[in-house]
Amino acid sequence: MLDVIRRAGLVVVPPDPTDEMVEAGIAVSGIGADRVRAVFQAMLAAAP
């Protein structure tokens, strides 16, 4: 099943970002953890 998803260019992510995901978002953006989480949620809401 995941092979089909990957071939379609999609990924499976948790509904809430992990601490590691938040830390990575902070590192590349310089914004705070709450804002990183909000951006993550906005991207999920806009996903196909």
Q: From 27, 18, 25, select the one nearest 39 (Cα to Cα).
A: 25
Q: Where along the chain do its domains lie? A: 15-48
Q: pLDDT tens across 1-45, in order?
A: 899 999 999 999 999 999 999 999 999 999 999 999 999 999 999
CB atoms within 10 A of CB 22: 18
pLDDT at position 1: 87
pLDDT at position 48: 82
Residue 26 tokens, joined: 């902070």
Do residues 15 and 47 lie in contact, with contact meaning Cβ atoms separated by under 8 Å? no
pLDDT at position 31: 97
Q: Is 35 exposed, middle or buried (0-12, 13-18, 19+ CB in 10 A)?
A: middle
